[in-house]
Amino acid sequence: MLVNMRDLLADAQEGDYAVGSFSVANMEMVLGVLQAAKELNAPVILQIAEVRLKQSPLEVIGPLMVAAAEAAETPVAVHFDHGKTIEKITQALDLGFTSVMFDGSHLPLDENIKMTKQVMAIAEEYDAAVEAEIGCVGGSEDGSEDIAINCTKPEDAVRFEAETGVDALAIAIGNAHGNYKSTPKLRFDILEECENNTDLPLVLHGGTGITPDDFIRCSHTGIKKINIATATFDTVENTVRQCYNESSINGYYDLQAAEVRGAYENAKKHILIFGTDNKA
Ligand code: 13P
């Protein structure tokens, strides 16, 4: 069933686990993620980022994501990731997304707060949740930029919460989008300070390549939403390649089934690490 992301994250705070937010680019990925959620009786979030709309137009994939969430037996929130423009954020809300991110992390804090509040006022009309970001997560969502990591200052998180009351806050603790060149060293000291001084559900971007132990530690240290994008795309691609190498694809529908299986296996692995199984 389609649910508000606020409710999923409140349950995650109560139950001390994190919810996987899986980026999707087509129907096969949506079906694979939801198959894993159903099998493991897990809540999940389906998301697409604004920079990915070149490949998957919002007016086409958005209704598909919402319809799939509505038809799902487990709770599913549909989230617009890294919203940059009011135009696209509003379009996502009009399509029935239950959560939107406004990414003002590149702006001065005052401006980020002002813009986030503007987005919150729009989202309120739809009763949708809003995620914001402070500090800079490294890399970029589509690999087009190599943004340097700039860790969140815990005092900024405190101020951001007090002045916006946003529903979820993405923080930067040494994490980066895309595949890491070496194993990331997450700043748990910063995460702990943010957790101890705010009540907000915190969000970890750049989930691909973070170790299971670090995921688990994050999920018990205030992180309630974990974004996974590159791992989904890589697993889908690798599963298809392997099937071709084994000559097990004979025709289009075998290709489609391999894509669904790749997305399913990636989501299943992460749901189990995040501790979301049997939390639906
Ligand atoms: P990865 O591509 O590193 O998994 O990052 C996902 C993400 O944070 C999307 O916002």
- pLDDT at residue 148 in the model: 75
The answer to whether residues 235 and 267 touch, using CB atoms and an 8 Å cutoff, is: no
Q: According to the model, what pLDDT value does residue 89 have?
A: 98
At residue 215, the pLDDT reads 98
Find out whether 270 and 228 touch, Cβ atoms under 8 Å. Answer: yes
Residue from 81, 103, 167, 214 carrying the catalytic annotation: 81
Strands 76-83 and 99-102: parallel
**Residue 68 belongs to what H/E stretch?**
helix 58-71
Asked whether 167 and 5 are in contact (CB, 8 A), the reply is: yes
What is the reported pLDDT for 137?
87
Alpha helices in 104-187 (DSSP H): 109-124, 154-164
In ligand 1, the atom with minimum distance to the C-alpha of 177 is 3
pLDDT of amino acid 123 = 98
Query: Is the CB of 229 inside a 6 Å radius of any atom of ligand 1?
Result: yes
Of the residues 177, 183, 236, 270, which should be mutated to test ligand 1's pocket, given the most ligand atoms within 8 Å of the CB?
177
pLDDT score at 21: 98
Per-residue b or e along 116-145, where b marks 16 or more CB atoms closer than 10 Å to that residue's CB:
bbebbebbeebebbbbbbbbbbbbbbbeee
Judge whether 94 counts as a catalytic residue: no
pLDDT of residue 147: 75
Find, among 101, 147, 151, the residue nearest to 122 by Cα: 101
* Whether this model's pTM surpasses 0.95: yes
Expressed in angstroms and rounded, the spacing between residue 247 Cα and the centre of ligand 1 is 31
The whole-number pLDDT of residue 107 equals 96
Cα distance between residue 90 and residue 32, in whole Å:
27
- The C-alpha atoms of residue 80 and residue 90 are separated, in whole angstroms, by 10
Residue 165 CA to ligand 1 center (angstroms) comes to 24
Does ligand 1 have an atom closer than 6 angstroms to the CB of 276?
Answer: no
Mean pLDDT, consecutive 10-residue segments, the chain of 280 residues?
Answer: 97 98 98 98 98 98 98 98 98 98 96 98 98 90 79 97 98 93 92 98 97 98 98 98 97 98 98 97
